[in-house]
Amino acid sequence: MKRAIIIMAKVPVAGTVKTRLQPFLTPEQCAELAAAFLQDAENKAKTICKKIILAYSPANERDALENILQTKNILVEQKGDNLGERMSNAFKFAFGRGSDAVVMIGTDSPAFAAEFIEQAFEFLETDSDLVLGKAADGGFYSIGLRKFVPRLFDGVAWSTDSVYEQIVKNAERLGLGKLSVLPRCYDVDTPDDFFVLRDEMLVVTEIQKRAPATYQWLLLHPELFG
């Protein structure tokens, strides 16, 4: 099967990203951390698949995005009035370019392993129509499909603890086949999330390897160690 990975990303501009980490972090630190998250997501993706589609917003920050990225990727502007529409349009774009197994990841879960992406593709390439990686907050950090499903994200109440379950119910309503589930992980959205990541990274070598850009950023900020 022809694989593609979509990375959904908001361009790291101070004052517009990771705002829930303020005032623990400054707006500039939030942007730096978000950039590190993006680089780590890109690194994981390129170890699994050559075709990386980076769906980004806002459109006028493309130059800033290209300065952060480490390799040449397919860039496409996110389009839609809400997250569901933007994700759906990104999947439509990927399948429209000849892919028949597409895994989408975000940039908010630096602790998840690249092997989870490979596992998602293996599920799709055997007998699964949908693959989900559940996040600890009730959302998901990864979703994989082997065909475009136009209404999969309809009616989802985004930024709630029932997002994952709503996607599962939509899949059942639409008659999708087998659902496979990846290991659970967590997003880093709040100071408490950040503390979990920070404390893991200080002692767990495997986490350091999964997110080297984030780890290097943390080492540059010992004042955040508490």
Q: Provide the pLDDT for residue 1.
A: 84
Sequence-distant (≥ 6) Cβ neighbours of residue 220 within 8 angstroms: none
* Residue 160 binned pLDDT confidence (cut-offs 50, 70, 90): very high
Query: Nearest to residue 3, comparing CAs of 93, 128, 100?
Result: 100
Q: Provide the pLDDT for residue 197.
A: 96
């994700």: which residue's tokens?
87
Domain ranges of the chain: 3-224
Helix (H) or strand (E) holding 14: none
Q: Provide the pLDDT for residue 225.
A: 81
Q: Is the per-residue pLDDT at 84 higher than 80?
A: yes
Average pLDDT over residues 169-179: 96
| Residue 64 φ/ψ, nearest 5 degrees | -65, -40
| 3-224: CATH class | alpha beta
Alpha-carbon gap, residue 103 to 94, rounded angstroms: 10
Separation in Å, CA 113 to CA 39, 60, 153, 206: 14, 31, 25, 9
Quote the pTM value: 0.96
Q: Provide the pLDDT for residue 54.
A: 98
Average pLDDT over residues 161-186: 96
Task: Work out the percent of the chain whose per-residue pLDDT is above 90.
Answer: 96
Q: Is the per-residue pLDDT at 186 higher than 70?
A: yes
Alpha-carbon gap, residue 226 to 214, rounded angstroms: 17
Q: Which two tokens stand for residue 50?
A: 């050559």
CB atoms near residue 188 (< 10 Å): 24
Task: Work out the percent of the chain whose per-residue pLDDT is above 70.
Answer: 100
15 torsion bin: left (phi>0), alpha (psi -120 to 50), beta (else): left
Q: Provide the pLDDT for residue 113.
A: 96
Average pLDDT over residues 125-141: 96
Q: Is the per-residue pLDDT at 25 higher than 90?
A: yes
Q: Which two tokens stand for residue 21?
A: 């980490």
* Residue 205 binned pLDDT confidence (cut-offs 50, 70, 90): very high
